[in-house]
Every structure is written in C-alpha cells, then in structure tokens.
C-alpha cells in the first residue's frame, strides 16, 4: 500500500494503463494543430520579449479567455511553474498570517500535505454540508462552528466535480468580509465548469483579502509545460511577492508565450470544442464500459465536465475499500487513485471509491477500459 495520491501517480507513470494522475496527456493535435506548427516562431518571439511583458500578456489573454474584466484590471499576480508551487507559496503566507485553514473535503490530499508542511492547522469543511446550504443564515450557522482564519476552496472540486454556484460563493464572501477571513480558491479545473461567472468581480466587490490559484496543467496537453497564476488582493501583496521572489525569479517566457497562443486559439474555436468535446468523448467510453461492470459513476457531470471520473464499487463483490481495489488493479498494471486519500482529514471507508483520469490518448484510455473489463467482466468491450 502506498502512502499518498502522489505516490500512486508516480507509480502510474511506469504503467501504460495509467489512469492515475490528472495531468493532460491526450494529444494536443486533436484541437490545436496550428499551435504545434507555430512552436518555432513562439520560441523566437519570446526570446526577444521582456519578462514583464510576457507576464502581462499571459494575464490579459487568460482574462479574455474566461471573460473577466476584473481579472484584467487586477495588478497583483505572479506566475509559478506549477499549481503545487503556487499552493506552497500561499501555504507559507497563510502560516504567517492566517494559520488556521478551513479546507474543503474531500479533495486532492496534496493540498493538505503542502499546507501542513508549511505549518498550517487544518480544519475539514465537508463539501456535502457546504453545498446543501440554501441561505446566508444557514451558511453563517455552519461556519460559526469553526475557529478559522482562512477558507480554502477548490472549485470545481477534484474528485467530485461539484461546483459552488454564484449565490453560494457570494454568501461565503459576504460572511468572510464580515468576519475578516481570508479566502483562497483553487480553480485548477476552472475551464471544465459549466456555470461561468466572474469570481474576481465578486471577490473585489465584497472587499475580502483573497488569493486565486489558476493552472494550465490539467487542461492542455503540453508535455508538462505548465503555468500557474496566483492572483491576490492588495492588502498582503508585499508578503506574497517576497515569498515568491525567494523561490522564483520569474517563469519561462517561452512557456508563457506558448500558453498565450493556446488561450487565443481556445477562445477562437470555443472552450466547448477545444476542451469539453474531447473529454465528453472519453466520458462516453467510460459510461459504456460501466454498463457491464460493478462500478457506478459518482462524478457531478451536470455542473462540470471534469477530465476524470469518481467511481464507486459494489462492496459486496469482495473488496473492502478503495485502497484494496486500487492495489488489486495495480497488479495488472492498471493504475487508479484510491478514494480514501481524498478524505485527507479522516479516511472514509464506508464507500469504495476510485478516481480515474480521462486525459489520455483515446487508444490508451480504450485499452485501459478493456483491461478493466477483462478483470471484472467476462466480455471484452472491443474498443480497439
């Protein structure tokens, strides 16, 4: 048994049937062949572009993609190589200023690990309780139960696919403004959400201190070239900038330039065609596979189109928990993530869950589903 989701992901990198990590490994050429053809030109152009100009263009193009004038006008931002780097920087900042962190659960355990490593005290905020709230009064009653300095959300959430709608988000901001709480939002899967609203507009409207963590690594397959933008309010910009500068001088101009082109092209062809449609095709494969297997899809596919599926397994079929199921599949070199580890505070064993990633070449995903079918069904699905 491995000790964290990251360890399962690392082992998955050794396997052809790797449905563990959520990185985007499907082919960029599916929707972005013009970008591939321009790579040498991007290299030459960015080689002569000042860093500050590359950063500003990155933020501008991303704000255009998500249609956020509030982000476009925001001046406090830094760009890290990965989302984990951004989370680590914010964790160091929170330890100094807002050490008691109310963190959503379930979510990817790496967030909790990074926050704890920096010395933050974590308090679980159960997602189902938060999403069930129907009024500001109910939200106040729930949050007043906790002694915390910062609320840390993941929206859309990994692995459930659940999304905070605008009304609940604004209620939470109103509460945090009234109680002087810091707000951190990880929007790693932002572009997979179906309901689009401008979080930055409301974060500034309610005058809360905040940090939003953006990411590219789960969305576009760029051979693990990534860029994670941290956008933050004015009150603590000096401290966040100081921590960033202690770790990074700046991010790669070429990487930022490449993503500027990707943002523009995505906007041109539409988020639906460039991002959602390739994942929907993969979700269809999974759905067809599950018809003959003892799994049920638990992902919220109504509010988001996350490039993953959160699966439950029939506990009456001989497996007692998600860890056992993941380890059993790994013996056949099929790597998935055990559900228990997403419950970073206290592992929940009453459900048998695993998470599978869909951002794989169609042949890899299809063959992996075929293998899953061979393990748990007498029929091969015959995709390939």
Parent domain of 51: 32-268
**Residue of 99, 57, 91 lying closest to 77 (CA atoms):** 57
Same domain, 84 and 219: yes
Query: CA separation (Å) from 205 to 139, 234, 304, 308?
Result: 19, 13, 25, 33
> What is the reported pLDDT for 242?
97
> What is the reported pLDDT for 29?
64
Can you name the residues that pair with 338 across neighbouring β-strands?
354
> What is the reported pLDDT for 376?
86
Would 51 be classed as within a structural domain? yes
Residue-wise pLDDT tens digits, 294-323:
999 999 999 999 999 999 998 777 788 899
Same domain, 337 and 216: no
**Residue of 344, 361, 343 lying closest to 352 (CA atoms):** 343
Which domain-ending residue is among 234, 250, 268?
A: 268
Which domain-ending residue is among 234, 268, 302?
A: 268
Q: What is the pTM for the complete model shown?
A: 0.94
Would 384 be classed as within a structural domain? no
Which domain-ending residue is among 222, 251, 268?
A: 268
In sequence order, which residues have a C-beta less than 8 Å from that of residue 180 and are 6 or more positions away?
Answer: none
Same domain, 239 and 357: no
Same domain, 82 and 169: yes
User: Whole-angstrom Cα distance, residue 171 to residue 129?
Assistant: 15
> What is the reported pLDDT for 30?
63
> What is the reported pLDDT for 31?
66
Q: Which residues of the chain have pLDDT under 50?
A: 378-384
Q: What is the CATH number of the domain that holds 157?
A: 3.40.640.10
Query: CA separation (Å) from 9 to 15, 19, 78, 187?
Result: 10, 9, 27, 21
| Count of domains forming the chain | 2
> What is the reported pLDDT for 287?
97
Would 63 be classed as within a structural domain? yes
> What is the reported pLDDT for 384?
39
Residue-wise pLDDT tens digits, 186-205:
999 999 999 889 999 999 99
Same domain, 340 and 264: no
Query: CA separation (Å) from 128 to 275, 303, 312?
Result: 27, 15, 17
């Amino acid at each position: 048994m491995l000790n964290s989701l990251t360890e399962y992901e690392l082992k998955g990198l050794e396997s052809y049937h790797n449905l563990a990590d959520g990185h985007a490994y499907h082919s960029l050429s599916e929707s972005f062949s013009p970008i591939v053809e321009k790579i040498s030109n991007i290299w030459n152009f960015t080689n002569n572009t000042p860093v500050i100009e590359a950063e500003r263009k990155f933020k501008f193009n991303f704000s255009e993609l998500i249609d956020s004038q509030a982000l476009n006008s925001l001046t406090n931002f830094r760009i890290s190589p990965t989302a984990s780097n951004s989370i680590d920087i914010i964790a160091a900042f929170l330890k100094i200023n807002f050490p008691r962190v109310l963190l959503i659960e379930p979510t990817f355990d790496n967030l909790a690990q990074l926050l704890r490593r920096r010395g933050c005290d974590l308090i679980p905020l159960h997602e189902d309780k938060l999403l069930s709230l129907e009024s500001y009064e109910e939200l106040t009653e729930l949050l007043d139960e906790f002694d915390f300095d910062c609320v840390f959300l993941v929206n859309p959430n990994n692995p459930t696919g659940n999304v905070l709608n605008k009304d609940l988000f604004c209620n939470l901001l109103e509460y945090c403004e009234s109680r002087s709480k810091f707000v951190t939002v990880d929007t790693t899967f932002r572009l997979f959400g179906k309901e689009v609203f401008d979080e930055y507009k409301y974060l500034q409207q309610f005058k809360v201190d905040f940090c939003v963590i953006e990411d590219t690594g789960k969305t576009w397959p760029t051979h693990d070239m990534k860029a994670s933008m941290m956008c933050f309010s004015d009150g603590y910009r000096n401290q966040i900038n100081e921590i960033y500068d202690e770790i990074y001088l700046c991010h790669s101009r070429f990487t930022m330039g490449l993503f500027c082109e990707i943002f523009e092209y995505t906007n041109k062809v539409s988020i639906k065609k460039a991002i959602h449609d390739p994942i929907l095709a993969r979700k269809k494969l999974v759905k067809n596979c599950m018809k003959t297997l003892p799994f049920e899809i638990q992902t919220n596919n109504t509010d988001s189109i996350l490039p993953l599926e959160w699966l439950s397994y029939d506990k009456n079929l001989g497996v007692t928990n998600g860890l056992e199921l993941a380890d059993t599949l790994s013996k056949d070199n099929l790597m998935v993530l055990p559900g228990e580890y997403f419950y970073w505070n206290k592992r929940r064993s009453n459900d048998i869950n695993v998470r599978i990633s869909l951002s794989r070449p169609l042949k890899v995903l299809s063959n992996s589903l075929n293998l899953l079918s061979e393990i748990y069904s007498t029929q091969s699905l015959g995709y390939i």
